[in-house]
Structure 1
Amino acid sequence: MPSSNVLPHALQTLAIKKLTGKRVVLASASPRRKAILSVFGLEPEIVPSTFEEDLPISSFGNIHEYPVATATHKAVEVYERLVEADPDNAPDLVIAADTVVLSHALPSTSQTSYSMLPEVKQELYEKPTSKEDNFRMLLDLNGGVCEVVTGLVVVYPILTSPGYMIKSIDERSLVYFADNSRELIEAYVESGEGLALAGGFAIQGRGGALVRKVDGDYNNVVGFPAASFFPTAGHVGRRRFRLLGHLEDPPPWGLLRALLIGKRFNSSMWHTDTDVRKHSFGVLVHGDVG
């Protein structure tokens, strides 16, 4: 039987009620993601994924699909590993996330919607390779804005083949940097806090001194979009995915190709919703994934 994973202070929402007494697994060793879930009253079992996170970025026509694909592989790897290890104690929900930092054009106003922003090629900010690289990165961001995108994926069991469903979203937040002095940036770089983080800064730590404001979910910038996760978890199992041939809109082929390349599959079922803040979709694959 699963241990109690819902803490006493949790708000009694639909998601929390559905997850009470269930085996909920976080496919990540990130202390930040664990801490965010704990704040909202959820204490999942921690089973880090062994997925290498080496998908070629060049294979994605839309760079926002990259963290979703990575999170999908992480979630499926953990789910399949746990089911194989103990079929009688399969997880009820596996959660995975992957967060990236992208360059972004500076909107003329904070009220500008994503759909109205200029179409420009976005660059991916990796983890700094050195303090010098961290300093260069923060100088580039200084007085500007970056986009933080988290691919959030949940995997849960269903009765039809292959035995699980995947639901996923990408959550996007804009981070506005203040016009920081060179002295402040140098001092932050010397602290070493940003060296292990994409974008080279930790908004929840001393790196918060560099940031003027956030447009979107603050927790998403930290690494886990709680505001989107709980509604998603609350609707797990409630919406049936429709056959591919019955959909009016085309699927996100870049993501499907990244997930399925070199794998065996017979058919797929999916659903997609889009708004100016996030893109959400689910994929059910008959065959081997990840």
Structure 2
Amino acid sequence: MEFVLASQSPARLMVLRAAGIQPVVQVSGVDEDAIAAALPENAPHEHVVVTLAEAKAREVAPGHADAVIVGCDSMLSHGGELVGKPGTAERARERWKRMAGGEGRLMTGHAVLRVRDGVVEAVATGTVATTIRFGSPTEDEVEAYVGTGEPLSVAGGFTLDGFGGWFVDGVDGDPSSVIGISLPLTRKLLAEIGVRVVDLWATGSP
């Protein structure tokens, strides 16, 4: 049985490898902006990230005969708004001006699919919301951080495990979900579709 990670995120891959799983990485080609735009304007933030996560997982499901496929999507809920990757240096600067010294909730949606004989036979989904307490970097520090390029391509414009970790004062909740994939939630979702996480460890089951 393959473990397929439907994500190009090196952070998610790192978390899984450190936890004993060597996934097959297959990046989905879904249009995240189009999917999000098609949802109701007042859709709960949890629903948005789960919908995107499941779309990514289903996109890569064809072609796999016997597999577990995991899709994830993270966005930051801040000031009543759900935001993803800044994309540009200007947006990243502006976002940090608003986030500095405050709090936000990093929402990470998860979808786990069980594929058998090429057919998706079971799906389990869930979301983790983790409170992020942001520090107050100086303008020079923000400029230097934006200059690394890191915040442009990550949810909310920050990381916990990279340069951005210098500017995060604390995390209330599951730190692995902030990095990109919640190990506790993924274990529970795997159990829902009849898979023991210990059977997926590269070192074998205890």
TM-score bracket for the superposition, by shorter chain length: 0.7 to 0.9
Report what 1:74 is aligned to.
56
Report what 1:197 is aligned to.
154
Q: Find the aligned partners of 2:69 and 2:89 in 1 and give their Cα distance.
A: 36
CA RMSD of aligned residues (A): 2.0
- Which protein is richer in helix relative to its size? 2
Find 1:42's aligned residue among 21, 26, 34. 21
Report what 2:121 is aligned to.
164
Q: How does 1:250-289 map to 2 (within 5 A)?
A: none
Q: CA deviation at 1:126?
A: 2.9
SS of the equivalent of 2:45 reads: coil
Find 1:95's aligned residue among 70, 73, 77. 70
Aligned length: 191
Q: CA deviation at 1:129?
A: 3.9
Partner amino acid, structure 1, of 2:4:
V
Partner amino acid, structure 2, of 1:67:
V
SS of the equivalent of 2:145 reads: helix
Residues 158 and 165 of structure 1 are in contact (CA less than 8 Å); yes or no, is this contact kept in structure 2? no
The 1:219/1:202 distance shift into structure 2, 3 A limit, reads same
Residues 45 and 107 of structure 2 are in contact (CA less than 8 Å); yes or no, is this contact kept in structure 1? no
Q: CA deviation at 1:185?
A: 1.8
CA displacement, residues 245-278 of structure 1 (integer Å, 9 cap, x when unaligned): xxxxxxxxxxxxxxxxxxxxxxxxxxxxxxxxxx
SS of the equivalent of 2:63 reads: helix
Partner amino acid, structure 2, of 1:103:
H
Find 1:211's aligned residue among 137, 153, 168. 168
Please list every run of 5 or more consecutive structure 2 residues that lacks an aligned counterpart in the other structure.
196-206
Partner amino acid, structure 2, of 1:97:
C
TM-score between the two structures when normalised by the length of structure 2: 0.84
The 1:157/1:133 distance shift into structure 2, 3 A limit, reads closer
TM-score between the two structures when normalised by the length of structure 1: 0.61
Please list every run of 5 or more consecutive structure 1 residues that lacks an aligned counterpart in the other structure.
1-21, 84-89, 105-121, 239-290
CA displacement, residues 89-145 of structure 1 (integer Å, 9 cap, x when unaligned): x133111111111105xxxxxxxxxxxxxxxxx202232243222111101000001
CA displacement, residues 215-241 of structure 1 (integer Å, 9 cap, x when unaligned): 111111111111211232234238xxx
Q: How does 1:1-290 map to 2 (within 5 A)?
A: 22-53=1-32, 54-55=34-35, 56=37, 58-59=39-40, 61-79=43-61, 81-83=62-64, 90-104=65-79, 122-157=80-115, 163-237=120-194
Residues 124 and 192 of structure 2 are in contact (CA less than 8 Å); yes or no, is this contact kept in structure 1? no
Report what 1:263 is aligned to.
none
Q: CA deviation at 1:187?
A: 2.1
Q: CA deviation at 1:209?
A: 0.9
**Runs of 4+ more than 6 Å apart:** none
Residues 39 and 48 of structure 2 are in contact (CA less than 8 Å); yes or no, is this contact kept in structure 1? no
